A = this chain, B = another copy of it.
Amino acid sequence: MTMLETMATVDQKKSEMGDAVLADRLREVGLRPTRQRMALVDILLSQGNRHMTAESLYSEATSQGAKVSLATVYNALHTFTAKGLLREISIDSTQSYFDTNTKEHHHFYFEKSGKLEDIEPNHVKLSRVPNAPDGMSISRVDVVIRVDG
């Protein structure tokens, strides 16, 4: 084993939140804290609010040494979303984005770069919202402000 290989193996970033906290977060929503979920949830929840795609999460995870398959990343993103740990955003019909901020808020979408940015909740106000038709109810209101260069 070369020096570089040794370092790469050892260089797995330790969670800033503490593994116990992350494991509990998973157990709270009824999910087993497996090795790969821990790695993913650490990336997703140990830093500020983020907007990730399956690809971006997968490459970040593998590049810091986690051994996880792309299929698992998709599985995890969907189960985390179902359990309320993430929120899915449809902005670009070519890719799904997942937002680690599950509180009510809105977005800037930079058309050129494809990046998303949170808008402070108090910077957007909807003073008038229609009622949902007949027996239906509003599950969510999304405001996307598209900006170009």
- Which chain A residues have a beta carbon within 8 Å of chain B's beta carbons? 88, 90-96, 108, 110-111, 117, 119-120, 122-130, 132-133, 135-149
Contact = CB atoms under 8 A, between A and B. Distances in A.
B144 A148 contact: no
Indicate how many identical chains form the complex. Answer: 2
A129 B135 contact: no
A108 B131 CA distance: 10
Contact of A141 (B94, B140, B145): B145
Contacts of A139: 111, 146-148
Nearest to A110: B136
Nearest to A91: B90
Nearest to A125: B128
